[in-house]
Amino acid sequence: MHTTLLLDMAADAAPDRLALGRREDGVTFSDLQRRARAGAVALEAAGGDTVVFVGLNGPAMPVAIFAAGLLGKPFAPLNYRLPDADLARLLARTAPCVAIVDDDMLVRLGECPGVTMMARSAFERACEAEVDGELAYVEPDIAVLLFTSGTTGEPKAAILRHANLTSYVISTVEFLGSEEGEAALVSVPPYHIAGISAVLTGVYGGRRLVHLEAFTPEAWVDEATAEQITHAMVVPTMLGRILDILEGRGAGLPHLKALSYGGGRMPQPVIERALRVLPHVDFVNAYGLTETSSTVAVLGPEDHREAMSSPDEAVRRRLGSVGRPLPTLELEIRGPDGEVMPTGQSGEIYVRGEQVSGEYTHKKVVQDDGWFATNDGGWMDEAGYLFVEGRLDDVIVRGGENISPGEIEDVLREHPDVADVAVLGLPDDEWGERVAAAVVLKAGGTAPDALADWVRARLRSTKTPEVWEIRDALPYNDTGKLLRRQLKVEMAGVARPATVR
Amino acid sequence: MELKPGSRWKSAVCDTEVVVVRPPKSDASLECGGHPMVAHAAAKPDGLSIALDHSAGTQMGKRFADEESGLEVLCSKGGAGSLSLDGRAISAKDAKKLPASD
């Protein structure tokens, strides 16, 4: 099935409902359909096999997704925040293509062989044109090419087919299930899987999409208030900063009904604070990957409330889980030899289902029987709640023992003096790796010795960091992913051992 | 009729429209209101009316599945007729609504 069919259905059934933009001057579903067709005609004339998008969020982005879909060409949004040379290298990998580029970013890219540049303003003008007749039908194939963030090397291009994305949308969203007046605020960038899935699920569900050009917590709160936003998705680092603004202003978000979060580990103190500051809001934790067309497991609003109020420790800790797998896919925890692990035991998370692509331009990593190894470690509790421990590449192996940094980070975050923390392994001649912690302290915070005692009292001594570094801030990329490799390199150079005890 | 995934069909006798999500294992006739459905772009035949035993109606957004053939369709517009495959009524799937996550 074609992603453009999702738009056609919405435009037929609710032509006059607002699809994009502000309440005053937004674009209706029939407008969006018309613009996508006109955009397709303009992009086709420019040639190329792929439609690249380099720019800020805004209505042009969803229009371009559907225009590319109509042409049967992959839509490839690139990270405009990359240094010029890296951006140009990614662009060269997508040739031959047409690239829609924000006007003020054109100068950064210069000339590139096989790439036809189209200024965003020119694309937007072209979308206003009237198109006569029907466009030729193109069999659906690749819908989206998404470059991974490249925190572990040269970015890989993940392939998402029309079949993966439509399967995800149709199985998780009710067609036009949104109530009139509902609006979602999209603040993840266009090159993030959640930015793509937000467009498709928003259109199919009939919910107006408001795009924030680029995230700042002030702009997010202002826009959510002005546009009476009812739904939004944020990454964990955004949520903490939004709560700071709300508490600072003494303001609430009376229209907000649901807030979902994902794309990284949510510190438990932050989500507990969010539940207190916004008691009327339904919180949803979504776990997913680019290679799985977004969400594969959800912790719903009821799960959040139950966990917050339960006297049962096993239920309470589910606030730190990503909920249960979607009913439309299979999920297993497997050990090092591929065996399925019993409840409560850690292993690698595997998923299988129609929304799972597991494919890159250079190789297919999904197994013949359809199972995709996520490279995430995790385990499931007795009620089927999934706990994600983080990337397996990040696991610390100390003297043969596998230590998950996430568990130690969680314990440290609960310390009242800790503002942020990252735990990682540094090379060690005796143990192979030793546990190291980079800590950002709150004003007047405590010394590493006290923190070491704190961890030792709650975990065991092998999991207590031996190396401590107090820092002003930790390095993150713009979508809130901790740059562990960079931190590791920096710490290997400067770290000092803690006091020997 | 060729019930390809993504193909769109409309009722010959009411407002119902559907999209094929999963095709049937073998060739079959998809009907609404007791009469074969027609391709979305085609003209409706004249002079037909809804058969009484196929008049329970369809609802927009509902998914319908026929276990025997594997066919699954999604109703993109509701109407007064009800769906059948080779004369056999097909029923709505109970879909559990998931909280919005994107």
Which residues in chain B are contacts of A197 at CB distance < 8 A? Answer: 102
Tokens 């899987």 appear where?
Answer: A193
Is residue B4 within 8 angstroms of chain A, CB to CB? no
Question: pLDDT at position A393, please?
Answer: 85
CB atoms within 10 A of CB A483: 16
Is residue B45 within 8 angstroms of chain A, CB to CB? no
Query: Residue A167 — φ and ψ, nearest 5°?
Result: -60, -45
Share of chain B above pLDDT 90, in %: 82
Q: What is the mean pLDDT of residues A356-362?
A: 91
Q: pLDDT-based confidence at A481, cuts 50/70/90?
A: confident
Q: Tally C-beta pairs within 8 A across A and B.
A: 74
Q: pLDDT-based confidence at A501, cuts 50/70/90?
A: very low
Question: pLDDT at position A500, please?
Answer: 39
Q: Are A293 and A165 in contact (CB under 8 A)?
A: yes
Which residues in chain B are contacts of A12 at CB distance < 8 A? Answer: 17, 76-77
Q: Is the pLDDT of residue A55 over 60?
A: yes
Question: pLDDT at position A484, please?
Answer: 86
DSSP state of A431: T
What tokens does A449 get?
A: 């010795």
Q: Is A325 helix (H, G, I), strand (E, B) or coil?
A: strand
Interface of A with B in 206-225 (CB under 8 A): 207
| Cβ <8 Å between A9 and B61 | no
| Cβ <8 Å between A295 and B6 | no
Closest residue in B to A286 (Cα–Cα): B101
Which of B8, B76, B102 minimises the CB distance to A197?
B102
Q: Is the pLDDT of residue A308 over 60?
A: yes
Interval A386-407: pLDDT, tens: 999 888 888 898 887 888 898 8
Contacts of A272 (CB under 8 A, 6+ apart): A308, A319
Amino acid making up residue A87: L
Which residues in chain B are contacts of A282 at CB distance < 8 A? Answer: 99
Give the distance from residue A280's alpha carbon to the nearest chain B alpha carbon, in angstroms. Answer: 15
Question: pLDDT at position A391, please?
Answer: 84
Q: What is the mean pLDDT of residues B3-24?
A: 95
- Among A3, A5, A139, A199, the strongest candidate for a mutation testing the B interface, having the largest count of B CBs within 10 A, is A5
Closest residue in A to B21 (Cα–Cα): A1
Question: pLDDT at position A134, please?
Answer: 81
In chain A, the N- to C-terminal Cα span, in Å, equals 63
Q: pLDDT-based confidence at A499, cuts 50/70/90?
A: very low
Give dist(CA A54, CA A149) in Å, integer. 15
Which of B21, B95, B99 minimises the CB distance to A1?
B21
Interval A87-101: pLDDT, tens: 999 999 999 999 999
Q: Is A351 helix (H, G, I), strand (E, B) or coil?
A: strand
Rounded to 5°, the CA angle A77-A79-A84 comes to: 125
Interval A232-284: pLDDT, tens: 999 988 999 999 999 999 989 999 999 999 988 888 888 999 999 999 999 99
| Cβ <8 Å between B102 and A286 | yes
Is residue A9 within 8 angstroms of chain B, CB to CB? yes
So what's the ipTM on this one?
Answer: 0.86
DSSP state of A361: S
Q: Is the pLDDT of residue A115 over 90?
A: yes
Amino acid making up residue A296: V
Which of A166, A176, A284 minimises the CB distance to B101?
A284
Question: pLDDT at position B94, please?
Answer: 74
| Cβ <8 Å between A5 and B21 | no
Give the distance from residue A358's alpha carbon to the nearest chain B alpha carbon, in angstroms. Answer: 20
The pLDDT mean for chain A works out to 92
| Cβ <8 Å between B8 and A5 | yes
| Cβ <8 Å between B74 and A198 | no
Which of B17, B74, B99 minimises the CB distance to A298?
B99
Give dist(CA A156, CA A139) in Å, integer. 25
Give dist(CA A447, CA A460) in Å, integer. 20
Model pTM?
A: 0.89
Beta strands in A14-95 (DSSP E): 18-20, 27-28, 50-54, 75-77
Question: pLDDT at position A152, please?
Answer: 60
Q: Which of A114-128, A141-155, A483-497, B28-42 has the least mean pLDDT?
A: A483-497
Give dist(CA A24, CA A16) in Å, integer. 14
Task: Dump the DSSP string for A130-168.
Answer: ---SPPPP----EEEEEE---TTSSPPEEEEEHHHHHHH
Q: pLDDT-based confidence at A153, cuts 50/70/90?
A: low
Domains and CATH numbers, chain A: 326-391 (2.30.38.10), 395-497 (3.30.300.30)
Closest residue in B to A231 (Cα–Cα): B100
Tokens 């965003």 appear where?
Answer: A120
Give dist(CA A456, CA A453) in Å, integer. 5
What tokens does B89 get?
A: 């009524």
What tokens does A45 get?
A: 């004339």
Q: What is the mean pLDDT of residues B20-32?
A: 95
| Cβ <8 Å between B74 and A282 | no
Which residues in chain A are contacts of B76 at CB distance < 8 A? Answer: 9, 12-13, 175
Is residue B52 within 8 angstroms of chain A, CB to CB? no
Interval A403-433: pLDDT, tens: 889 889 989 998 999 999 999 999 888 888 9
Which residues in chain A are contacts of B101 at CB distance < 8 A? Answer: 172, 233, 260, 262, 284, 286, 288, 294-295, 298
